[in-house]
Amino acid sequence: MAAALPTSLRPLHQSFSPKCPCLSHHSQLRPSSSSLRFRFAVRASSVIALEADLSTQQQTQDVETNLFACPVCYEPLIRKGPPGLNSPAIYRSAFKCKNCDKSYTSRDNFLDLTLISGLKEYTEVRPAMTELFRSRFVSFLYERGWRQNFNRSGFPGPDEEFVMAQEYLKPTQGGILVDVSCGSGLFSRKFAKSGTYSGVIALDYSENMLRQCHDFIKQDRSLSAANLALVRADVNRLPFASGSIDAVHAGAALHCWPSPSNAVAEISRILRSGGIFVGTTFLRYNASTPIIFRRPRQGVLQNFNYLTEDEIEDLFTSCGLINYTKYVQRSFIMFSAQKP
């Protein structure tokens, strides 16, 4: 059977030790949900007929190994190391793109899947809204007061925002959720703890935010074995194959992205059919803001991409998302949309 598999899948079956079963019967990543089987069909539809009678465990190995894709060419990465979506397993694994002959490894407890991962000479300075959150100081302060300030603009607060997001995401339960621009993992940890998803990926561009996230996870024993992976990536270049992800959450993030249109297009690309994107941001103004207080789109000191309600809906529609809904409270907006 293995000989009939495409070469990109073959090493996967050969590299896992039988002593290291992919997932235990108690693992949340066991393919109890139809979505995992669906994802398998999306990634390897030509393989599925050949694989139809493979054991459930083998199918899970494929799903897991192919979850991350090369940010250069979007080909699924080959993984060598212990299986599982939890941080220790990811940390001890090596990932390689056979197409680009490029390797990706973990540093400081997160897997670096940026285009600049492992580069020695080239460094990149991103726009101010991205660089601000890379600072150690801001990353440290983020959950220690910075985020609470958002309440003054109408944000209900993380507990309530989480409950609202879960409601929108209900159709994706049991699947893989990517918490894009997770910061220090405020929501990623809640999603992982909820047990609603087979796996949660906390993804951010900021190394220091991801370090904070790792520290918070270490302090919470209930998260030690959770299927919660920490990944460094750029929202403009998400390291997942097209149509492979069930749910994307992006809390208080859209206004920080260098190009909201690139980012929403990327999110739309990685979502599977029926997948859901839910997020929040600050509005540039809302219906009750007097005209004289409405901020211009771009000012001299305007580094954030604050959009209006109509601009957000327009953007989502132009990126091919449907069933757009929103909830607005002063400058706070929670939006959701679905991949057709």
Binding footprint of ligand SAM on the chain (CB under 6 A): 129-130, 133, 147, 181-183, 186-187, 204-206, 209, 234-236, 251-253, 256-258
Residue closer to ligand SAM, measured from CB, 43 or 284: 284
Say which residue the tokens 């890379």 belong to: 134
Identity of the residue, 51 or 204, whose beta carbon is nearer to ligand SAM in the bound complex? 204
| Min CB(292)–ligand SAM separation in Å | 27
Please state, in angstroms and rounded to a whole number, the distance separating the CA atoms of residues 268 and 270: 6
Smallest distance, ligand SAM to C-beta of residue 38, A: 27
Q: Which is nearer to ligand SAM, 16 or 142 (CB)?
A: 142
Chain-centre distance of CA 205, in angstroms? 11
d(CA 71, CA 233): 8
Minimum Å gap between C-beta 261 and ligand SAM is 13
Closest CA to 90 of 116, 62, 65: 65
Closer residue to ligand SAM (CB): 9 or 245: 245
Q: In this complex, which beta carbon is closest to ligand SAM, that of residue 182 or of residue 223?
A: 182
Shortest Cβ 54–ligand SAM spacing (Å): 36
User: Least distance from C-beta 205 to ligand SAM, angstroms?
Assistant: 4
CB of residue 174 vs ligand SAM: minimum separation in angstroms? 23
| Nearer of residues 97 and 267 to ligand SAM, judged by Cβ | 267
Q: Shortest Cβ distance from residue 182 to ligand SAM (Å)? A: 5
- Separation of alpha carbons 337 and 340, rounded Å: 9
**Nearer to ligand SAM (CB atom), residue 66 or residue 280:** 280
